[in-house]
Structure 1
Amino acid sequence: MDLLKSPMSTEPAAPAVTAMPVSPHEAASRALTLVQLGRSEEAIAIVEDVLGQSDIPLPDKPGLRYAAAVAHHSLGNHEQQILAADACLAAARRLEEPGWMANARCLRAMAEIRTDRVDAALRDLARAEYDLSQTTERGLTSWAHNGLGYCYLELRLYELAIPHLEQATPGDDPVDAPGAPVIHLLNLAEVYQRWADEIERAAPEEADGEDVRRHRDTSNGYARRAVGAARKLGNPNLLAAARAVELVTRPPALADDSVEELRSVWADPSHTEHIGGRPTVGSALARALWRTGRRDEALEVAQEAARMSERTADWQITANARWLLTEMTHESGIEGAAAGRDYGLTLSRVLWRQRLATLHGALSARQVETMQHEMDRAQQAATSDPLTGVANRRALEAMLAAIGSTTQDGPTSMLLIDLDGFKRVNDEHGHHVGDEVLRAVATAIAETARREDLVVRFGGDEFVVVAADTDATSASILAERVRIAVSDVRVPIDDEGSPTVGVTASVGTRTTGPDLTVEDLVAAADRAMYAVKQDRAASDSIT
């Protein structure tokens, strides 16, 4: 039985898509639709063709990489799935979009789970949880909830899967994959059904207990809603899938009313392999027959369902079908059945304890990830200027110490920037306007400097830029760019549209060399800056 997951697995056949994609977004949508149609090789070809173009905008790349990973997932190409997920993650990092990062990590985690790398998967899932907490885009949020729920369900961590699946919003779809509302409801039916099944296998005495009944009733409720959603959608294949799910999740009290419907679905040779796949339907039919007193027929159906279950890639389906057959043969008094039941019960309880250990590992991984981010935030707060967000003097001291203690490939240059006329801004317009000017200036300097440069608020209206591996000529060019960027800053005095105010800057630069060590760089750059002020007081200038 293939789980009906969106967007990480296959949906029963839907109407074929014939329009050729005209944009990367449409290509990703078409690729996912082809995966749902069982045409994953075509999906991969479409994505690779589009990615072969040289002008793909960065915002479109994560979706294409994601579609490729989903296609490889459906084909069982786990290593290719990881590579595609890694490419999606790399594009998401460049885009600084945590939603795509969360979804990429989920796809990578699923491949790791399928290849018995559970510890790595738990780390990826913990990081995906954090990325999800930073996501604001609704579609990516919904997908990430689905992805996390799917991965936790694969690990049989029902307690973690359910909240994510319940929070997923199928109407928010980044690439417009069809059938999402139905699939969403079937996901929820699946997780509650599997939870009840596993409790029953590990503790048969709880088969009619409150937890099992509640989980099965909840599962059937979602399945009934899926039937309604599929009927409204007008997709006959999804409707057939939803009806089969509703049948297999019905409570035991409805066994007599369900037999003929189950028998009809069970006898359908074209029945699609999904949550209501034939082994699952056969087991449900066998249960209904057993409860209504037709035990010989029930045993025949259970035996056939058990044989069919061996052809599925989902071991839990096999476990359910085999356990049901074992229970029926035991209750029928067949010789040797008691020993087989005891052995099966022992295995089920071992698997339940393994599940609890994995649950503990997942919760621990979450805690470690949360603590790491809290430490990172504390470190960021300790080395950042709270007003402007750029680095503070502590960060400057740490960087200069690091440069001084290691051999550098080239000289280190420093820019010391002092704002001209900033006191007048404070005096005439108030400190709230002055603070906005400082923020705007800090942003302008940071956007002008290179990514690897350190921008520091040195104190008051002074800023520093440390540029490693930068000679004096390059430092002078950078200083001129910074001076121009600062002079272009304009801040409204009151509300937007009101008169604006700005400042200019005096920039001093110095570069390490035989006569200047990094330890003396700050003092030398400070002297250079004051020389500028003295030479051209209150004017834009540079040495």
Structure 2
Amino acid sequence: MTERWAILTEVDELLAEARRIASGEVLAATLRRALLLRLLTDPRDDLIDPLLDELDATARAHDLLLYEIHHYALRGRFAVRKALQSDALVAVARGLAILADPLDPPEGTPGAAWGKKVACALLTLSGALSCLGTYELAEETLEHAGHHVPDEDAHQRTVLTVNRLCLMVDWGLRLERAGFAEQAAERFAAAERLAHEAEALWSRSLFAERSSGKAADEVGAIAVGLALAAPGASHVDRLLRLRESMHDTSDLIHVTIALARCLDDPSTGIALISDLQRELKDGTEARLLRLTLSWEHARLFAVREGVDPSDSPAYQHVAAMEEYLWGARLALIGTIRARVEHERLARVHGAVTRQALQDPLTGLANRRGLAEWMRAAAGAPGRPQTMVAVLDLDGFKPVNDRYSHLVGDQVLRAVAETVRGAVRADDLVARYGGDEFVVVLPGANTEQARVALERAVHAVAALPRQVGHGVTLSAGLTDLRGEETAEETLRRADATMYVAKHRGGNRVAVT
């Protein structure tokens, strides 16, 4: 655990740096990693919601659909931890709604690289669905992920196979608890097959570079898949070693249950489960699996006492609770499916609305969208300081004259993407007309805004010649004042922009 806290500290430092200089996609990836680590280390809750909100804002601002899926999946995982099932339901439904339409790769992105990113997002979402107990939806999502992973990619195949294995184990334990012994055995048999498949893939994956042994000696899920299908003494030593290295609650529960079933003495299994229950007493994660621990404890106790488990009051209590939860689970699957369609239609409506506020060439906000943003900024509670900048391209007219307007449009799109990636996730970038842009920086002081704009100016100047054709940016920065209209603010920023041009361009001027 100490090592994970050290890694989390390192990632938080990288996150601070990414906020300062990184592109939107790099920032989103770093936010995702920080949140995933928090799932394992379980730090203070007050750090989680702001990070989720930041990932959401970053994904939307940079049109990163896959990171929207990651955001919804992670929001669902954390909501499950807090027993906020309705919040988790809405989050995963929104993630699934994004998948209702084909996810085409951005222009210039190789198909294989895009497929890996799609599969990664789907794996995160399937984890959230599994935590909700909606295993059928999780399986569908993993199948979808499998379509994006080529057979020759042994590493991604290993990751996908282990995820499917974990799902089969969770599903089998739940079916067993609900009284469906035959179906549970089928899931355990599937888990065993997947364990052998993962073992075969392991030696060709990147994991093998850090390990010289068998996959089953390194990965708890693989060892558990083998043990639950055929419990016996041959698995005990391996499971004991793995149990000492486990940190994730779900992994600990899986390994402990598998170990208890492989031991000859029920009393030892009961003691192991009791110790883990005490260790997890104050935690909030893996709520459904905790019920499996109680079920296993009651079952082993009945075995030790030589009585039918169904006659045990503890067993009866868990069975009654599971009967209720199983019915609720089936209703939850139907609710999520219905909610997905609702969210899909909402996204379509939202896309139509956004198009009315969007410049069709660059995808940035248009004048109407800019006006709405500035009006909202001026009327924000407490009226935090907001900075506004007008940006104009230097040397753009010769590009149109020499190469054609088609090339000029390509330059405008490249500049728009570069500026959007250089400023902060919460900043608005709009196309004001022609080769003129506006940036609105809410909550920024003059120095913060100047640094962000200089980043944009330097990034545009650094564009490859064949992309930017030598254009640069002149930027005029000013503050949004409550006593003047948006048009007056833009006129002041525009006048300041000409100061930058008269000084040679490729710079930021401030008033």
Output the TM-score relative to the length of structure 1. Answer: 0.55
> Following the alignment from structure 1 to structure 2, what is the Cα–Cα distance between the partners of residues 426 and 54?
40
* Match 1:157 to one of 128, 134, 143: 134
* Match 2:324 to one of 330, 344, 350: 350
Per-residue displacement from partner, 1:446-482 (whole Å, max 9, x unpaired)?
Answer: 8999986774556xx696869899xxxxxxx9xxx9x
1:390–1:457 Cα contact (<8 Å) kept? no
Letter in 1 for 2:81: R
Matches within 5 A, 1:363-512: 363-392=337-366, 394-395=368-369, 432=406, 455-456=430-431
* Match 2:9 to one of 34, 48, 51: 48
| 1:337 positional shift | 1.6
Paired positions, count: 442
1:227–1:239 Cα contact (<8 Å) kept? no
* Match 1:321 to one of 296, 313, 318: 296
Q: In the superposition, relative to structure 1, how do residues 425 and 214 fare at CA in structure 2: closer, same or farther (>3 Å)? A: same
* Match 2:89 to one of 122, 129, 147: 122
> Following the alignment from structure 1 to structure 2, what is the Cα–Cα distance between the partners of residues 156 and 267?
31
> Following the alignment from structure 1 to structure 2, what is the Cα–Cα distance between the partners of residues 436 and 379?
25
> Following the alignment from structure 1 to structure 2, what is the Cα–Cα distance between the partners of residues 44 and 338?
42
> Following the alignment from structure 1 to structure 2, what is the Cα–Cα distance between the partners of residues 416 and 237?
56
Partner of 1:16: none
Partner of 2:257: 279
Q: In the superposition, relative to structure 1, how do residues 440 and 45 fare at CA in structure 2: closer, same or farther (>3 Å)? A: closer
Select the structure that is richer in helix. 2
Q: In the superposition, relative to structure 1, how do residues 83 and 248 fare at CA in structure 2: closer, same or farther (>3 Å)? A: same
Letter in 1 for 2:361: L
> Following the alignment from structure 1 to structure 2, what is the Cα–Cα distance between the partners of residues 316 and 384?
50
Note if 1:359 corresponds to 2:320.
no
Q: In the superposition, relative to structure 1, how do residues 149 and 435 fare at CA in structure 2: closer, same or farther (>3 Å)? A: closer
| 1:262 positional shift | 0.4
Partner of 1:78: 42
> Following the alignment from structure 1 to structure 2, what is the Cα–Cα distance between the partners of residues 203 and 324?
13
Between the aligned residues of both structures, percent identity stands at 17
Letter in 1 for 2:131: E
Per-residue displacement from partner, 1:136-194 (whole Å, max 9, x unpaired)?
Answer: 6666544433332223222211112224445668x99xxxxxx9876653432232233
Gapped regions of structure 2 (runs ≥ 5)? 106-112, 150-154, 244-251, 278-288, 443-449, 496-511
Gapped regions of structure 1 (runs ≥ 5)? 1-39, 173-178, 251-260, 286-299, 470-476, 506-510, 529-543
Letter in 1 for 2:242: T
1:305–1:321 Cα contact (<8 Å) kept? no
* Match 1:262 to one of 216, 224, 232: 232
Per-residue displacement from partner, 1:25-79 (whole Å, max 9, x unpaired)?
Answer: xxxxxxxxxxxxxxx21331354267569994555777776666555544xx535
| 1:402 positional shift | 7.1
The higher-RCO structure (CA 8 Å, 6+ apart) is: 2
Say which SS state the counterpart of residue 156 (structure 1) adopts: coil
Partner of 2:195: 223
> Following the alignment from structure 1 to structure 2, what is the Cα–Cα distance between the partners of residues 183 and 54?
25
Say which SS state the counterpart of residue 361 (structure 2) adopts: coil
Say which SS state the counterpart of residue 312 (structure 1) adopts: helix
* Match 2:216 to one of 214, 221, 238: 238
| 1:350 positional shift | 0.5
> Following the alignment from structure 1 to structure 2, what is the Cα–Cα distance between the partners of residues 399 and 276?
50
CA RMSD, 1 decimal: 6.5
Letter in 1 for 2:357: T
Q: In the superposition, relative to structure 1, how do residues 321 and 49 fare at CA in structure 2: closer, same or farther (>3 Å)? A: closer
> Following the alignment from structure 1 to structure 2, what is the Cα–Cα distance between the partners of residues 235 and 387?
54
Q: In the superposition, relative to structure 1, how do residues 103 and 80 fare at CA in structure 2: closer, same or farther (>3 Å)? A: farther
> Following the alignment from structure 1 to structure 2, what is the Cα–Cα distance between the partners of residues 126 and 223?
30
> Following the alignment from structure 1 to structure 2, what is the Cα–Cα distance between the partners of residues 447 and 281?
50
> Following the alignment from structure 1 to structure 2, what is the Cα–Cα distance between the partners of residues 456 and 63?
27
2:94–2:343 Cα contact (<8 Å) kept? yes
Per-residue displacement from partner, 1:230-262 (whole Å, max 9, x unpaired)?
Answer: 577432573375355213225xxxxxxxxxx70
Q: In the superposition, relative to structure 1, how do residues 456 and 202 fare at CA in structure 2: closer, same or farther (>3 Å)? A: same
Per-residue displacement from partner, 1:282-327 (whole Å, max 9, x unpaired)?
Answer: 4367xxxxxxxxxxxxxx8556545543443542432552575599
Q: In the superposition, relative to structure 1, how do residues 409 and 465 fare at CA in structure 2: closer, same or farther (>3 Å)? A: same
Q: In the superposition, relative to structure 1, how do residues 180 and 277 fare at CA in structure 2: closer, same or farther (>3 Å)? A: farther
* Match 1:247 to one of 204, 227, 240: 227
> Following the alignment from structure 2 to structure 1, what is the Cα–Cα distance between the partners of residues 214 and 159?
14
2:253–2:293 Cα contact (<8 Å) kept? no
Q: In the superposition, relative to structure 1, how do residues 139 and 47 fare at CA in structure 2: closer, same or farther (>3 Å)? A: farther
Partner of 1:202: 178
Which is further off, 101-110 or 344-353? 101-110
Q: In the superposition, relative to structure 1, how do residues 218 and 381 fare at CA in structure 2: closer, same or farther (>3 Å)? A: same
1:185–1:222 Cα contact (<8 Å) kept? yes
Per-residue displacement from partner, 1:104-129 (whole Å, max 9, x unpaired)?
Answer: 65455434322312333334444555
Say which SS state the counterpart of residue 381 (structure 1) adopts: helix
Output the TM-score relative to the length of structure 2. Answer: 0.58
Say which SS state the counterpart of residue 387 (structure 1) adopts: coil
Letter in 2 for 1:265: H
| 1:87 positional shift | 4.0
2:76–2:88 Cα contact (<8 Å) kept? yes
